[in-house]
């Protein structure tokens, strides 16, 4: 396998992933709509490109890490997109787009002789920096195996299946649970604090009890109790993932009673604080509805 690759989209998640690949000895050609983001990777040894098509005309394997399905489709299939490249053979999508977009992109690229893998990741910015992401890969088994060493630079490799979009479905299932546990934990913590409980004690008790979850293990101690609300994932992206999951459930005719309620809370959070806000601000919305309670350690 060549050690020369392309990487498109070097934001909060893409930048540390591209950086780890550079550190692992890959020669990384990089493109992002933001010149400052490209410059950061170039400063670490990356090679700047002016478009997705330029990257795809220089390397055989192109990875993308992008925020929305529409941007993914434009980068992959646009007039100056990956599909217009002359050298690319394999396209790897690390984004969260949903199964149907993954299948649509894969079908269009296949007509040009380009193999598409969807390989969404989970673990947040911290996981991207440490190389501990979970990487949910779907596509031709042999090709996925050939790229396994690349995926293992950024995290733990999971082969999900050979059908385009299976990795995306796995990611949506995970993120729906993540969104649900954070939303439910917000309501529980606000209730407890309003009733006089110390949130630190609540977290300590719950994390060694049957209610333990990632929101109370990581997000609350790092971003809610100190009132920084800077965990590193945008409200708009979480709301997008929740919507994609529910759209897929509807297409599959599977019930999502509880998750529809969770979707409404994320919609309200997105409206109240904006899509660029940190997703831990969902707690602040519940606090406001509870009359101004704040989940923070008592002064005493």
In a domain, 221, yes or no: yes
Q: Which residues of 241-262 are buried (b: 16+ CB within 10 A; e: fewer)?
A: bbbbbbebbeeeeeebeebeeb
What's the CATH code of the domain at 241? 1.10.1040.10
In a domain, 80, yes or no: yes
In a domain, 299, yes or no: no
Same domain, 23 and 152: yes
In a domain, 48, yes or no: yes
Average pLDDT, the chain: 96
pLDDT of residue 242: 97
Token pair recorded at residue 222? 């790092």
Last residue of a domain, one of 163, 189, 215: 163
Same domain, 153 and 177: no
Q: What is the pLDDT of residues 140-188, one digit of tens each?
A: 999 999 999 999 999 999 999 999 999 999 999 999 999 999 999 999 9
Same domain, 110 and 155: yes
Same domain, 158 and 9: yes
Same domain, 23 and 142: yes
Contact 64, 18 (CB under 8 A): no
Q: Does the CA dihedral 141-63-236-15 come out positive or negative?
A: positive
**pLDDT at position 206 over 80:** yes
What's the Rg (C-alpha) of the chain?
20
Provide the domain limits for residue 153: 4-163
- Per-residue confidence band for 1, with pLDDT thresholds at 50, 70 and 90: very low
Token pair recorded at residue 88? 């690319």
Q: Annotated catalytic residue: which of 58, 171, 219, 240?
A: 171
Same domain, 158 and 173: no
Token pair recorded at residue 243? 């919507």
Task: Please state, as a whole number, how many other Cβ atoms lie within 10 Å of the Cβ of residue 51.
Answer: 18
Burial class (CB in 10 A: 0-12, 13-18, 19+), 276: exposed
In a domain, 278, yes or no: yes
Q: pTM for this one?
A: 0.93
Mean per-residue pLDDT for 106-131? 96
Mean per-residue pLDDT for 207-225? 97
pLDDT of residue 298: 92
Identify the CA nearest to 264 among candidates 234, 243, 247. 243
- Per-residue confidence band for 46, with pLDDT thresholds at 50, 70 and 90: very high
> Of all residues in the chain, what percent carry a pLDDT higher than 90?
98
In a domain, 298, yes or no: no
Contact 37, 13 (CB under 8 A): no
In a domain, 234, yes or no: yes
What's the CATH code of the domain at 59? 3.40.50.720
Same domain, 39 and 141: yes
State the total domains in the chain. 2
Same domain, 215 and 234: yes
Last residue of a domain, one of 133, 163, 193: 163
Phi and psi torsions of 161, nearest 5°: 170, 175
Mean per-residue pLDDT for 285-293? 97
Same domain, 96 and 232: no
Identify the CA nearest to 1 among candidates 154, 144, 170. 144
Q: How is the chain classified by DSSP, letter by letter? A: --SEEEEE--STTHHHHHHHHHHTT-EEEEE-SSHHHHHHHHTTT-EE-SSHHHHHTT-SEEEE--SSHHHHHHHHHSTTSGGG-SS--EEEE-S---HHHHHHHHHHHHTTT-EEEE--EESHHHHHHHT-EEEEEES-HHHHHHTHHHHHHHEEEEEEESSTTHHHHHHHHHHHHHHHHHHHHHHHHHHHHHTT--HHHHHHHHTTSTT--HIIIIIIIIIITTS---SS-BHHHHHHHHHHHHHHHHHHT---HHHHHHHHHHHHHHHHH-TTSBGGGHHHHHHHHTTS---S----
Q: What is the pLDDT of residues 230-266, one digit of tens each?
A: 999 999 999 999 999 999 999 999 999 999 999 999 9
Same domain, 126 and 196: no
Same domain, 152 and 259: no
Last residue of a domain, one of 108, 131, 163: 163
- Per-residue confidence band for 299, with pLDDT thresholds at 50, 70 and 90: confident
In a domain, 153, yes or no: yes
Identify the CA nearest to 187 among candidates 211, 218, 222. 211
Q: Is residue 171 flagged as an active site residue? A: yes
Same domain, 151 and 55: yes
Mean per-residue pLDDT for 108-113? 97
């Amino acid at each position: 396998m060549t050690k020369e690759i392309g990487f498109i989209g070097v934001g909060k998640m893409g930048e540390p992933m591209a950086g780890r690949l550079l550190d692992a000895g890959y020669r990384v050609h990089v493109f992002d709509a933001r010149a400052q983001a490209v410059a950061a990777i170039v400063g670490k040894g990356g090679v700047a490109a002016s478009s997705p098509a330029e990257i795809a005309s220089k390397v055989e394997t192109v990875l993308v890490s992008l925020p929305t399905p529409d941007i993914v489709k434009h980068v992959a299939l646009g007039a100056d997109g990956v599909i217009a490249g002359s050298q690319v053979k394999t396209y790897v999508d690390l984004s969260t787009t949903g199964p149907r977009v993954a299948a649509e992109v894969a079908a269009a690229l296949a007509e040009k002789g380009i193999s598409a893998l969807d390989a969404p990741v989970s673990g947040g910015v911290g996981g991207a920096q440490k190389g501990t992401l979970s990487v949910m890969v779907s596509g031709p088994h042999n090709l996925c195996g050939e790229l396994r060493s690349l995926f293992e630079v950024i995290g733990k490799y999971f082969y999900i299946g050979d059908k385009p979009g299976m990795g995306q479905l796995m990611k949506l299932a995970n993120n729906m649970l993540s969104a649900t546990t954070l939303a439910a934990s917000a309501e529980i913590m606000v209730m407890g604090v309003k009733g006089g409980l110390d949130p630190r004690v609540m977290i300590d008790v719950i994390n060694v009890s049957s209610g333990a979850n990632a929101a109370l293990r990581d997000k609350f101690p790092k971003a809610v109790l100190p009132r920084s609300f800077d965990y590193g994932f945008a409200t708009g992206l979480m709301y997008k993932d929740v919507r994609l999951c529910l759209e897929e459930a509807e297409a599959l005719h599977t019930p999502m009673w509880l998750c529809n309620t969770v979707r409404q809370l994320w919609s309200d959070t997105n409206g109240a604080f904006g899509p660029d806000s940190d997703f831990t601000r969902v707690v602040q919305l519940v606090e406001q509805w509870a009359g101004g309670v704040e989940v923070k350690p008592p002064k005493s």
